Structure formats: C-alpha cells, structure tokens
Amino acid sequence: MHTLMVTYRPPVDPVAFRDHYRNKHLPLAAALPGLRAARYSLDVHHEQSGSSIFALFEGDFESEETMRAALSSPEGAAAQADLQNFATGGVDIFDFVRSELP
C-alpha cells in the first residue's frame, strides 16, 4: 500500500478553510483514480507544544505508480489547482509505503 499524506498549515481563515475543504476539495480528492481509501482530520493537536499543522489528509493507493498516475490525471490536476483556493497557510505533501503492525 502506498500512502499520500498532505498536511495543511494554519490558514488565514479557519472557518473558510473548513467549509471549502469539506464541500469542494474532499470531493475532488475522492475522485482521484485508483484511490482505495482516504482519511482526513481537521483537528490536529500536538500534545507538548501546539501544532503547526491545522489539518491532514491521507489517501491510499495500490502502488506508487498508481498514486503518481492519479496525481497526473485531470482529477489530480484539479485537486492540486484547488489548493490555492483555501490552503492559505501552505501545504506539505509526502508519500510513503504504509506498513501495518504485526
């Protein structure tokens, strides 16, 4: 399993971020071809120091190749272009092989 993780830094307007993210961006992400499962959180906390992450998204794909194809697709381009509409604090994008505990 290959996972795409997007972390969002605190936006200028958290209320507008939440509204746009739930109603516009998540449907774009859900349309990514080959997406097997996805999770998100709008309530990220760091126990010791506070968090520089406001929200996060994880999407699972069968392989790195499947993920890269999804990001290169028209649906992937639409999701990436939409970031400028709400992610005013910036984003960090990671991908990795996901492993389960035995």
Question: Could you count the other beta carbons within 10 Å of the beta carbon of residue 75?
Answer: 18
Per-residue model confidence (pLDDT) at position 48: 67
pTM score, two decimals? 0.91
CB 53 within 8 A of CB 7: yes
From edge to edge, which strands make up the β-sheet containing 91-97?
A: 37-41, 55-61, 2-8, 91-97
pLDDT one-digit tens code per residue, 52-88: 889 999 999 999 999 999 999 999 999 999 999 999 9
- Report the distance separating Cα 92 and Cα 81, nearest Å: 15
For 102, the 3-state DSSP assignment is coil
Domain 2-97 has CATH 3.40.50.300: no
What percent of the chain shows pLDDT beyond 70? 95
- Per the structure block, which two tokens stand in for 67? 């993920």
* Tens digit of each residue's pLDDT (9 = 90 or more) over 7-16: 999 999 999 9
51 vs 37, residue with greater confidence: 37
